[in-house]
Amino acid sequence: MASFTKRNGKWQARISWHDENGKLHQKAKSGFATKSQAKDYATKMENELINGVDIAADPVFADYFKTWYETYRLPKISKSTASNYRYTSNIISDYFGTMRIKQIKRSTYQTFLNEHGKNHSLGTMKEITTKIKACVKSAIADGIITKDFTFNATLVHDKARSRNPEYLSISELKQLIQGLNSELRVDNVNPYIVLTAIYTGARLSEIIALTWKDIDYLHRTIRINKSIDYRYSTGFKPTKNESSNRTIRVNDYLLKILSQLKANRTPLVFARTPESFNAHFPQTINDYLKSVMRQCGIVKRDYTFHSLRHSHVAFLLSQGIDIYAISKRLGHSNMTTTSNVYAYLIDEYKHKLDDEIEHKLAQL
């Protein structure tokens, strides 16, 4: 129910309603030049009440985001992922300040993307916007807002800071594998780790978490069901998400060389000694990979261990492997994720396939 009063030449609209427990609530807004404007506002508020919107709730966006991720995300994520949420939370707080969530329009959000994206890479902007979108969906589910102000927003980024990860050609992969084979010895697990990445496309944290129980020699599979938190040295942790739990088929060659490491008599496949549980760090592995690549005459300025995952995808695409099969092998939740992350590779091979299609059609 709405009531209207005129004070000092301006109109005020007051909306009253009872919640599901019978408690009376009121919301008032003043400053309307005409009674008609006040009625329009009251009608809008009443319609929102009918649609289940909590018109009394209008938290500061930064506060809502912090409460949301601490309630729904923090209990089930790693320390590393939690730091990414804190990073996004600080960015929201710095930019939006005390702006309330209902004040934010699509244009407001797009302006934020335009300004923040000028000095940040595509990867960073994707991380930030993914978290904000999830938070906004939660606010809609809570009945605080009715529209998604992130809808159809254009992602802006600094192209100079954003590079597609380099990947190796088939001939370069063969060179690298040959170089790694010459380094194989049980007291140096690094070449075994790199070879596992080449043949599986798995992440470093997943590979170094492998135990001998995860390797099935009979069915020629490797099971990914955990990872290692090498950043905070807390030991085992869950995989990146539920879809990352997967079983990967591998070739006999990889199984054969991995069996050499059984001589170390450790529960972990890639532990150097029974006591070394968490001795692998990205920089150590990256330095080793670059060293072997130099010895093989492969020059890639920005190539890192994670680039092996991209090389794995590039090779599978070159062999005509379906994107669905690749997505499952990588542990992505759906093909859309794979298509977005590896769009630059997919487009490259699409051009090659288009040429092949054109050639085939010319034969009709």
Q: Between residues 17 and 266, which one has the greater pLDDT? A: 266
Domain total for the chain?
3
- Give the separation between CA 307 and CA 284, rounded to whole angstroms: 15
Q: CA of 225: how far to CAs of 91, 111, 139, in Å?
A: 33, 41, 32
CA atoms within 13 Å, Cβ hemisphere of 309: 19
pLDDT tens-digit readout, 52-111: 766 566 789 999 999 999 999 988 887 778 889 999 999 999 999 999 998 999 999 999
- The pLDDT assigned to 281 comes to 66
- Tell me the pTM: 0.66
Residue 327, CA distances (Å) to 42, 53, 199, 249, 278 in order: 50, 38, 15, 14, 28
For residue 101, which of 63, 154, 141 has the smallest C-alpha distance?
63
Note the pLDDT of residue 361: 67
Domain range enclosing 134? 61-141
Is residue 262 included in any domain, yes or no? yes
Q: What's the chain's length in residues?
A: 364
**Do 298 and 244 fall into the same domain?**
yes
283 CB neighbour count, 10 Å cutoff: 9
Q: What is the mean pLDDT of the chain?
A: 85
pLDDT for 227 = 87
Task: Kindly state whether residue 55 falls inside one of the protein's structural domains.
Answer: no
Tell me: pLDDT of 346 over 90.
no
> What local confidence, expressed as pLDDT, does residue 169 receive?
85
79 and 38 in a common domain: no
Quote the CA–CA distance of 168 and 122 in Å, as a whole number.
22
Does residue 165 fall inside a structural domain? no
| Residue 181 maps to a domain | yes
The arithmetic mean of pLDDT across residues 38-59, rounded, is 77
pLDDT at 273 over 70: no
Looking at the fold, whether 226 and 175 belong to one and the same domain comes out as: yes
Among residues 95, 120, 141, which one ends one of the domains? 141
Band (pLDDT 50/70/90 cuts) for residue 128 is very high
pLDDT of residue 355: 67
Average pLDDT over residues 301-306: 87
Q: Which residue has the higher pLDDT, 52 or 329?
A: 329
**Lowest mean pLDDT segment, chosen from 83-87, 191-195, 318-322, 325-329:** 318-322
227 within a domain of the structure (yes/no): yes
Ramachandran quadrant class, 320 (left: phi over 0; alpha: psi -120 to 50; beta: rest):
left
pLDDT digits (tens, 9 = 90+) for 131-160: 999 999 999 988 888 889 999 999 999 887
Q: Is 302 helix (H, G, I), strand (E, B) or coil?
A: coil
Look up residue 77 and give its two tokens. 């994520």
Residue 228's nearest CA partner among 208, 199, 245 is 208
| Residue 162: inside a domain | no
Same domain, 12 and 114: no
For residue 44, pLDDT beyond 70: yes
CATH of the domain at 256: 1.10.443.10
> In terms of domains, do 186 and 296 share one?
yes
Examine the domain organization and report whether 82 and 226 are in the same domain. no
Q: Which three-class secondary structure state does DSSP give residue 180?
A: helix
CATH number of the domain encompassing residue 113 = 1.10.150.130
The answer to whether residue 361 is domain-embedded is no
**pLDDT attached to residue 299:** 87
Burial of 36-75, coded b for 16+ CB within 10 Å and e otherwise, reads eebeebbeebeebbeeebebeeebbbbebbbebbeeeeee
113 vs 281: which has the higher pLDDT? 113
